[in-house]
Amino acid sequence: MKILMVNAVCGIKSTGRICTDIAHELIKQGHEVKIAYGREQIPEQFANIAYKIGNDYDAIIHGVKARLLDAAGYGSLRGTRRFIQFIKSYDPDVIHLHNLHGYYINIRELFGYLNDSGKRIIWTMHDCWAFTGHCAYFEEANCRKWEEGCFSCPQKKKYPSSITDFSKRNYRLKKELFEQLKALEIVVPSKWLEEYIKRSFFQDKKVTVIYNGINTDVFYKRDTDIHESYGLSGKKIILGVAAIWNDRKGLNDFIQLSHILDEDFVIMLIGLSKEQMNALPGNIIGIKRTNSSEELSEYYSAAFCYFNPTYEDNYPTTNIEAIACDTPVITYDTGGSGESAIHYGCVVEKGNIRAAYEAMKVRYKRDEAFDVSAHHFVEQYIKLYEV
């Protein structure tokens, strides 16, 4: 079987690693895989299965268009047309879409082709962008306009940020494009997102919940020298990981947590900018982003617990990475984040830092039946591919 995946990134960040984890398992089982991506660099080991959509200049122009005209998803015309020619020559059995936002592909051009292609089309939605007129998440804004039709977007300055508001147009165009693809099958990695899909204009489409998995040959409990390297002997590390740290990811909550910690605990945050690192309190250790999964696995393994104070999320990959490294997860009751934490850790009220801190002191028993391996979730995808 030949599978073509499409995503903003390949082999990095959460969705990029999900794609390469799926590819790794599929190739092991004798299938052929390509991953088409649009942004950033890819780890060298995936170069032979990757196809770059467009170029960096295309992405910049697309981003400017989105900024000025609220047109995320409507740039990159030339790169998308070339990509369609690649699809025709590769001739996959299944086209597996992931994140289509990220300023790298033209959805009108892509779905015009997909609608006539006769291919199996599966779309794993990692957020809510596909059925809103602008945003990827709307819970923090408590907005429900997407249920009937977006307008006067309260989050136009949120990703994908724009100085104008064409959310009404975007909603209408997405609805027309996506509804016409009759063979579209949707996969979501959480029951939380499934409920929203059923209330959106995708309500008549087939929806399957498949929880994400990870490569447990990489993420597992390791012996590390993290404590020694940072002079933390005897300290309990509270770990936080994000590709981009902001209030939505809970950076301010970690700052507040740092003010109430006992001396036994220290916070370690991965993925900070230089400016953010310079502004940290003394009991927070800041680390720049790492694209090394092996190194990240060591940090998870060294942590006493993993704290994910996210305010908007679907099914965070970092949660299951931590669990695979035998580290319990404390998270807010946000999106689908708690759907993994309940198997090894604790879910607390959103924003309740004191409750989160008390939960961090508890020793949890892991639900051994909860399988986070890529092999487990790829098997579910293969069954879906073969239907």
Band the pLDDT of 289: cuts 50, 70, 90.
Answer: confident
pLDDT of residue 80: 98
| 123 vs 43: CA distance, rounded Å | 24
Residue 159, pLDDT above cutoff 90: yes
Q: Which residues have C-beta within 8 Å of that of residue 149, sequence separation ≥ 6?
A: 133, 168, 171, 172
pLDDT given for residue 309 in this prediction: 98
Is the pLDDT confidence value at 291 over 80?
no
What is the per-residue pLDDT across 323-332, written as a single tens digit (0 to 9) for each? 999 999 999 9
Q: Which two tokens stand for residue 202?
A: 């995708």
Helix 77-90 / helix 107-117 crossing angle, nearest 10 deg: 20
At residue 183 the predicted structure's pLDDT band, cuts being 50, 70 and 90, is: confident
Binned at pLDDT 50, 70 and 90, residue 299 comes out as: very high
> Residue 66's pLDDT is what?
97
The structural domains of the chain, ordered by start, are 2-215+374-386 (3.40.50.2000), 226-360 (3.40.50.2000)
DSSP string, 171-187: HHHHHHHHHT-TT-EEE
Contact criterion met (CB below 8 Å) for 344 and 371: no
- 386 pLDDT band, cuts 50/70/90, is confident
Three-state secondary structure call for residue 4 = strand
Tokens of 9: 């990134």
- Residue matched to tokens 């009937």: 148
- In this predicted model, what pLDDT tens digit does every residue of 197-245 receive, in sequence order? 999 999 999 999 999 999 999 999 999 999 999 999 999 999 999 988 9
- Cβ proximity of 328 and 236 under 8 Å: no
Closest CA to 300 of 315, 319, 286: 319
Closest CA to 180 of 194, 207, 209, 201: 201
Least confident of 81-85, 352-356, 374-378: 374-378
Please write the tens of the pLDDT for every residue from 34-72: 999 999 999 999 999 999 999 999 999 999 999 999 999
